[in-house]
């Protein structure tokens, strides 16, 4: 549904997108994660035909987004990160205004608009002034507006930011419904646990490039392959460390009070080779476990930045392992 190949975007001398590649299948809810300034908004605006790229290719359902912005605007619905000011405009007028921009007349689109307001739980607000709506309601109205022309791809830029937990939950339910209706959704956020729950796959962006993408489990697995291994021994610890260091894929060895922590380049096969190698050298191993990955630590590892959406509780969801972290 969406394919981005070798996309570059420069703002003067600053390279905001640096060879970005991304693919999203039809029907996916793709979560776009990255720290401030990573290039998420830039990417989304280019995909929606609102911003020119310097080079590369962007196809939405086969349509060339970089060269056919009129056709792309019919395919894509965009919910920007900033909701404008609409003095003296009521909800129905607001929806009609945008419908007219797509060439619908207000009679033929009325049913559709009412249906969309129902979808986003705003039916009872249809005669209210837009500026008087709460932030969460405005956000939902924006989603309804972006759906007026029945786009195949819905692009939402940080739709959950500034919403309270209940409004977030409601927005999430709406997006899940849209996913069930077969829409493809590209959504950016800083709030990882939420994205993990509702997205079919996620991509992590950093400095204008996608540094990881896949479904949530795949990404966690990717991280797992680089997680430290915690080893507990009851035989001589120095002998154990010497034996561990001889293993060629081991890159770092450190110690805590009761454990040896080993960085190992490799997956389960290599892990097994290390374990069996140590046992064959008579190291008495009573604990041998690789740290679990979770989305929070993954994000921090990949981007090296604080995630403002993460609470320390969530960041420690790894369970038993987190107690062992020093």
Ligand X SMILES: Nc1ncnc2c1ncn2[C@@H]1O[C@H](COP(=O)(O)OP(=O)(O)OP(=O)(O)O)[C@@H](O)[C@H]1O
Distance CA 11, CA 131 (A): 33
Task: Report how many residues bind ligand X under the rule CB under 6 A.
Answer: 11
Nearest distance in Å: CB 42, Mg ion: 8
Q: Residue 305 or 316: which CB sits closer to ligand X?
A: 305
Question: Tokens 């993408």 appear where?
Answer: 213
Task: Give the footprint of Mg ion on this chain (CB under 5 A).
Answer: 40-41
Give me 267's structure tokens.
Answer: 């997956």
Provide φ and ψ at 213, rounded to 5°.
Answer: -155, 155
Q: Which two tokens stand for residue 263?
A: 């960085």
Residue placing its CB nearer to Mg ion in the complex, 186 or 283 = 186
Per partner kind, with CB cut-offs from 5 to 8 A, the member of ligand X, Mg ion, none near residue 11 is ligand X
Q: Does 13 bind ligand X (CB under 6 A)?
A: no
Least separation in angstroms between residue 149's CB and Mg ion is 24
Q: In what order do the strands lie in the sheet with 2-11?
A: 14-24, 2-11, 55-60, 63-64
Among 1, 4, 7, 16, binds ligand X (CB under 6 A): 16
Binding track over 33-72 against ligand X, x by CB under 6 A: -x-xxxxxxx------------------------------
Nearest approach in angstroms of CB 148 to ligand X is 25
Going by C-beta distance under 8 Å and a sequence separation of 6 or more, which residues neighbour residue 321?
230, 289, 291, 292
The answer to the question of residue 82 lying near ligand X (CB under 6 A) is: no
Between 250 and 300, name the residue whose CB sits nearer to ligand X.
300
User: Which pair of tokens denotes residue 249?
Assistant: 């894929």
Nearer to ligand X, 41 or 227 (CB): 41
The answer to whether the beta carbons of residues 44 and 186 sit under 8 Å apart is yes
> CA Rg, the chain, in Å?
24
Binding residues for ligand X (CB under 6 A): 11, 14, 16, 34, 36-42
């Amino acid at each position: 549904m969406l394919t981005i190949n070798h996309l570059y975007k420069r703002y003067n001398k600053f390279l905001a997108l640096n060879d970005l590649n991304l693919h999203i299948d039809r029907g996916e809810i793709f979560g776009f994660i990255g720290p401030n300034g990573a290039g998420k908004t830039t990417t989304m605006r280019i995909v929606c035909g609102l911003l020119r790229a310097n080079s590369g290719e962007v196809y939405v359902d086969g349509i060339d987004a970089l060269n056919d912005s009129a056709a792309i605007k019919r395919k894509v619905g965009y919910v920007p990160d900033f909701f404008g000011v609409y003095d003296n405009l009521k909800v129905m007028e607001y929806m009609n205004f945008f419908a007219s921009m797509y060439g619908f007349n207000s009679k033929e689109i009325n049913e559709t608009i009412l249906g969309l307001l129902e979808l986003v739980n705003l039916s009872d607000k249809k005669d209210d002034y837009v500026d008087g709506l709460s932030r969460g309601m405005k956000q939902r109205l924006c989603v309804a507006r972006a759906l007026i022309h029945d786009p195949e791809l819905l692009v939402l830029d940080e739709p959950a930011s500034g919403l309270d937990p209940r409004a977030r939950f409601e927005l999430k339910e709406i997006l899940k419904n849209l996913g069930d209706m077969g829409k493809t959704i590209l959504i950016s956020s800083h709030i990882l646990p939420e994205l993990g729950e509702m997205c079919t796959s996620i991509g992590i962006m950093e400095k204008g490039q996608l540094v990881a993408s896949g479904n949530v489990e795949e990404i966690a697995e990717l991280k797992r392959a680089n997680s430290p291994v915690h080893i507990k021994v009851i035989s001589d610890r120095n002998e154990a460390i010497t034996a561990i260091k001889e293993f060629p894929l081991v890159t770092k060895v450190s110690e805590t009070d009761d454990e040896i922590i080993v960085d190992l380049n490799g997956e389960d096969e290599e892990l097994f080779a290390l374990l069996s190698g140590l046992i064959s050298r008579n190291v008495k191993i009573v604990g041998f476990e690789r740290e679990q990955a979770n989305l929070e630590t993954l994000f921090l590892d990949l981007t090296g930045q604080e995630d403002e959406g993460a609470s320390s509780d969530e960041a420690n969801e790894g369970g038993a392992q987190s107690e062992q972290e020093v």
